[in-house]
Amino acid sequence: MDASTTMGNEVLVANEVQERRCQISTLTDRFEVLAPARASVRDLRAILQRDHVRQGSVTLALETGQKLRDVQLLHDLPDGTTFCCVSTSVAALEFQLGELESPGCQCQKYLRAYEGVASSDLRVTRSFWVFAVLAQTAANVWVGESSAEARKQIAIPVNQIAGAALMMLDKLWRFGGSEATPARTDASLVLNPDLPVTQEHPKLFEAMSLGDLESLITAHYSIEAHEKLLSWVLESEDGSSIQTGKRSMRFRVALAELNQITVRRTICLLESGRNSRQTSAYVDLLRVISCSSGVRCWA
């Protein structure tokens, strides 16, 4: 065997070591995907989401039914392992969210407003829809390794889409989800996520109905972000699924951060952003929406 042949075989072996063939099984199909040998379950889910499952949240499990955690590495699993892939829609995820323990808690100051509120309450469901509108803002604020002050400078002043979304959340909980003001849809009003709210926007948003505000921000809703956030909230910090009737700390902290904003008058965040507790809660809510691994579940 000459030197060139030997080198060619070494390259083939190296490529085989660098990639792993993963057998994927769905309810209707079986196929194979290539993933980096050092990839994690999270990486494999991302490949499936990108190339095979365009809608719905992807969950991976073994054939025994054991759910795989995102942090698990593929090379720790035996060769020939079949990954069972299940895709879950927003509706199914919302149903699972509705089965969790109520977020209300007398012992937690910023969760008292949710006492008696079922996890299936329409206000909860609509809040997570609005959170999905804020996903791009969250990604912009929580990209890379930035200081707290740098993140605040990106988040404040509030951009126009975020301003309308926050006012929708405010009205949703302040008025119990009812239309407190008549519709005043202005077809000429166009919001720009790259520009801060103007002096006129807070009063315009305050005068609008929930339906008006929803119409303004619908184009910025991301079903992928919605699925990702709901899936994240339905998992505990160790990656295990939260069972029916149990408590989700991520769910609680999301609504606690929201309450910290609304109790200090949301419109003030849009007008000045000078209340440090309120602005910090807004930046932290965006961190929750980004599904960051560094979220502190304090509530």
Q: What is the mean pLDDT of the chain?
A: 89
The more confidently predicted of residues 41 and 70 is: 41
The answer to whether residue 294 sits within a structural domain is no
pLDDT score, position 220: 96
Domain span at residue 99 reads 92-289
Distance of CA 266 to the CA centre of its chain: 21
Paired tokens of 183: 């519709």
Buried b (16+ CB within 10 A) or exposed e, 167-191: bbbbbbbeeebeeeeeeeeeeebeb
Residue 146 has pLDDT above 80, yes or no: yes
- Say whether both 141 and 115 belong to one domain: yes
Same domain, 83 and 97: no
Tally of CB atoms within 10 A around 235: 18
Within this chain, do residues 97 and 234 fall inside the same structural domain, yes or no?
yes
213 with 225, same domain: the answer is yes
Distance, CA of 210 to chain centre: 22
Residue 298 in any domain: the answer is no
Q: Are both 280 and 140 inside the same structural domain? A: yes
* Residue where one domain finishes, among candidates 56, 88, 120: 88
Q: Are 133 and 254 in a shared domain?
A: yes
Q: What is the pLDDT of residue 185?
A: 54
Question: Token match 């699925």: residue?
Answer: 227
Lowest mean pLDDT of 60-69, 125-134, 209-218, name the range.
60-69
Closest CA to 27 of 71, 59, 72: 59
User: pLDDT tens digits, residue range 237-274?
Assistant: 888 889 999 999 999 999 999 999 999 999 999 999 99
Mean pLDDT along residues 30-45: 92
Is there a domain that residue 213 lies in?
Answer: yes
Indicate whether 297 belongs to any domain: no
Question: Given 32, 57, 88, which residue is the final one in a domain?
Answer: 88
Report the domain count for the chain: 2
Q: pLDDT at position 11, please?
A: 44
Calculate mean pLDDT across residues 25-49.
90
Q: Which residues pair with 82 in a beta bridge?
A: 23
Position 252 scores a pLDDT of: 98
**Residue 71 located in a structural domain:** yes
The answer to whether position 295 is within a domain reads: no
Mean pLDDT along residues 68-86: 91
pLDDT band at 86 (very low <50, low <70, confident <90, very high): confident
User: How far, in Å, CA of 296 to CA of 143, rounded?
Assistant: 17
Looking at the predicted structure, is the pLDDT value of residue 291 above 60?
Answer: yes
Place of tokens 């002050």: 149
Helices within 52-200 (DSSP H only): 90-98, 122-133, 135-141, 148-155, 160-174
Whether 200 and 243 share a structural domain: yes
Last residue of a domain, one of 88, 104, 124: 88
Whether 15 shows a pLDDT value over 80: the answer reads no
**Dist CA 163 CA 67 (whole Å):** 39
Residue 220's contacts (CB-CB under 8 Å, 6 or more residues apart) are: 133, 136, 161, 193
Q: Are 135 and 263 contained in the same domain?
A: yes
The number of angstroms, rounded, from the C-alpha of 227 to the middle of its chain's C-alpha atoms is 7
119 & 263 share domain: yes
- Tens digit of each residue's pLDDT (9 = 90 or more) over 199-230: 999 999 999 999 999 999 999 999 889 999 99
Partner residues linked to 73 by β-bridges = 40
HSE of 290 in the Cβ direction (CA atoms, 13 Å)?
Answer: 20
Handedness of CA 64, 68, 72, 74 (dihedral sign): positive
Angle between helix 122-133 and helix 90-98 axes, rounded to 10 deg: 130
Q: What pLDDT band is residue 178 in, cutting at 50, 70 and 90?
A: low
Alpha helices in 156-275 (DSSP H): 160-174, 201-207, 210-217, 223-233, 249-262, 266-271
281 domain residue, yes or no? yes
Looking up residue 28, the CATH number of its domain turns out to be 3.10.20.90
Q: How far is CA 75 from CA 37, 66, 83, 90, 186, in A?
A: 6, 17, 13, 31, 56
Clarify whether residues 166 and 238 are in a common domain: yes
241 and 149 together in one domain: yes
pLDDT band at 187 (very low <50, low <70, confident <90, very high): low
Tell whether the model's pLDDT for residue 1 goes beyond 70: no
pTM here is: 0.76
Is there a domain that residue 253 lies in?
Answer: yes
Same domain, 61 and 196: no
